Structures are given as C-alpha cells and as structure tokens.
Amino acid sequence: MDRAKRPKLLALGRVADAQLVKIAAALRAMPDLELHSRKPMQTERRRLWDRIGVSSDVCGHSVEHISFASVLPVLAETDAWKMAMLALYRKRPCTSDDPYLLVIYGDEVTPGNVLRQDDAMKFMAWYATLAEFPPELTCHTCMWVPLAVATSQEAKTIPGGLGNVTRVLLRHMFLQDRICEEGVILQLDCRTYRFHFFCQDVHL
C-alpha cells in the first residue's frame, strides 16, 4: 500500500498503520477480488439490473424501477427471505383467491447532514413489504423491497407527480407481471412454490 495513503486511511478509520498493511495484504490474497478496478462491481450491478430492472413510460417520461416478480426470486436466495417466505407459506398457503397482501410506502428522503439539509439532494423512494410479516421481521430494512427511486425535482416534472408514478408501479405489478393471478414462482429448499400477492394499502 502507498505510504502516502496510509495517514488518510488512518484518520478516516482510526485503524493502526500496521493493521492497515495486514488488511491490504489479506485483500490482495483473495483470488476473485480485483482491487485495481471497479469494473467487476459495475459489471455485476449491470447484470443484476438486467435481471430485475424495467423501464416504464409515465406520461412521456421514462421511469426506471424494479420488477417485483423478478426481484423476489433474487431476495429468496438470501436466508432471511427464504425462511420468512417458507414460514408464511407453512402457516397459510396462498392462492390467487386468497393472496398475501402487499403494503406499499412512498417517502421523501433528504440524505446528508440533518442540521444542514440540501433540498437539491431530496429524492422519493417507493418500497414494499408483506402485511403478513410480523413486526420482528418488518423492523429490519432488508425485509422491505425497494421498488423505485426518483429525485424530487424529477418527480415534479412528471404530470400527476408521485401518484402517477405509484399508479405505473401498481399497473406493472398486477397487469404486466400479474403477481395476483399468475403469482411468482420461488425455489425454496429444493421445492417449487407459487406465491400470489395483492395490494392492501398504499401510503404516500
């Protein structure tokens, strides 16, 4: 590691110089980690977006968002979602006539210093979870599915604003992905399950 960079890392992380050297050596020893380039991470991000991302027209504006039917199988590969969905199904299997219920939220967020907020950084985020999940699950951010993000400035230029974007998200879920009638197929513990969903509430 470049000696000139160590004081900066030490100041940021309060890590001893000797420890920084050990950390750098351990990272370089990882055969699948390319420290000289961000390209592998960018490539994986593009691949993931190709799996779960879609673009919808909102009154002439192209809005990128996540397909719930595509992202759920990806989430189900994690232990938290796999166990949650299995527990839910074992407690009450769902059908198209008796689906699980989605709760969708939309919040405006301003990142950065709360004492000196920069309105130019404001953005709107849409996310969802299942009404059947108990509070001990929904208290964790990993159990909320991010659906879309738009800057507040961008949202103001869309006719109908936030409500129109929300309408497009719902239309994609229920008219294109048909997550209620056709459901979403998940592979859990070497078995195939079909989950059906309907929207219970939308909070903006």
Q: What is the pLDDT of residues 38-49, one digit of tens each?
A: 667 778 888 888
The pTM of this model reads: 0.74
| Domain-embedded: residue 147 | yes
Distance separating alpha carbons of residues 189 and 86, to the nearest angstrom = 9
Name which of 26-30, 81-85, 129-133 the model is least confident about.
Answer: 26-30
User: Domain span at residue 64?
Assistant: 40-203
Structurally, how many domains does the chain consist of?
1
How many other β-carbons are positioned within 10 Å of the β-carbon of residue 34? Answer: 11
In a domain, 85, yes or no: yes
- Convert the pLDDT of each residue in 130-179 to its tens digit: 999 999 999 999 999 999 988 877 777 888 777 888 888 999 999 999 99
Is residue 3 included in any domain, yes or no? Answer: no
